Structure 1
């Protein structure tokens, strides 16, 4: 099966230019597209969230995917290489018109796939290195990274249970009993109530 894949980023772009290029190419090659897949979506979206991901999963060994250029497969190099690697692992050919690539299971494609894979690894390492350098620079500038020492998260095990706790307190239920009901220690209940009293200026019933 031969599949024609067309992707545009916005509604303002037209699929007709890409369809025209693919049809012209197929006429010169004396082949026909068996099925078209078109989508209007950003190339930054994950492949699995796009029609392209569903298409690749349904394609079989020996099938051909034709698109106008590699950039239609993804916005960045890493994403494009991921798509090509998946296709080559499944013996799916990828043909592009502007780039003039014919990627399949032949030795040239495998060499290219190796180059793609190596580039991906280098890109990941560069990103990791840049992140480490940025963090080191922040530390050198005296910027405190992460949560300050001794600080606590605003969320606790009882966050979102305020109304239920207030209802139990109104019924004169003890902290110990509330703790058993909610699966926490009595001290956790006590601390939570005290904190809420401070924030609401005494809006909670005390025991």
Structure 2
């Protein structure tokens, strides 16, 4: 079982690594070792997300993805409207 960390900020001026220590502490408390970090500066509403797509390509079944919060992965779901989210 591999553990991946994913960190994203919308712009280069924001610190994508701001949650790294928190995720490392969570992993340590749960006896997990993060195998690889994916860090990028792209809007969550954009499909231009090379690190996210690299993560999807590399991740294996049974792996664990650690993120600060779900919207760090994508905000595209919110475009569907409240009645269509999380179905």
TM-score (norm: length of structure 1):
0.36
Q: Which has the higher contact order (CA 8 A, sep 6+)?
A: 2
Q: Partner of 2:34: helix, strand, or coil?
A: coil
For structure 1, the 5+ residue unaligned runs are 80-114, 118-207
Q: Partner of 1:61: helix, strand, or coil?
A: coil
Matched, 1:17 2:18: yes
Residue aligning to 1:116: 86
Q: Which of the two has higher C-alpha Rg?
A: 1
From the two aligned structures, give the one with the greater helix fraction: 1
Provide the C-alpha distance between the structure 2 equivalents of 1:31 and 1:20, rounded to a whole number of angstroms.
14
Provide the C-alpha distance between the structure 2 equivalents of 1:116 and 1:75, rounded to a whole number of angstroms.
12
Alpha-carbon shift at residue 75 of structure 1 (Å): 2.1
Residue aligning to 2:42: 41
CA displacement 1:149-195 (0-9 Å, x = unmatched)? xxxxxxxxxxxxxxxxxxxxxxxxxxxxxxxxxxxxxxxxxxxxxxx
Residue aligning to 1:54: 54
Alpha-carbon shift at residue 9 of structure 1 (Å): 0.7
Provide the C-alpha distance between the structure 1 equivalents of 2:78 and 2:16, rounded to a whole number of angstroms.
24
Matched, 1:74 2:85: no
TM-score (norm: length of structure 2):
0.79
Matched, 1:31 2:32: yes
Provide the C-alpha distance between the structure 1 equivalents of 2:17 and 2:45, rounded to a whole number of angstroms.
22
From the two aligned structures, give the one with the greater strand fraction: 2
Provide the C-alpha distance between the structure 2 equivalents of 1:15 and 1:77, rounded to a whole number of angstroms.
21
Provide the C-alpha distance between the structure 1 equivalents of 2:78 and 2:60, rounded to a whole number of angstroms.
24
Provide the C-alpha distance between the structure 1 equivalents of 2:57 and 2:63, rounded to a whole number of angstroms.
12
The ranges of structure 1 where at least 4 consecutive aligned residues each deviate by more than 3 angstroms after the TM superposition are none
The alignment of Structure 1 onto Structure 2 pairs a total of residues equal to 80
Alpha-carbon shift at residue 69 of structure 1 (Å): 0.3
Provide the C-alpha distance between the structure 1 equivalents of 2:17 and 2:39, rounded to a whole number of angstroms.
10
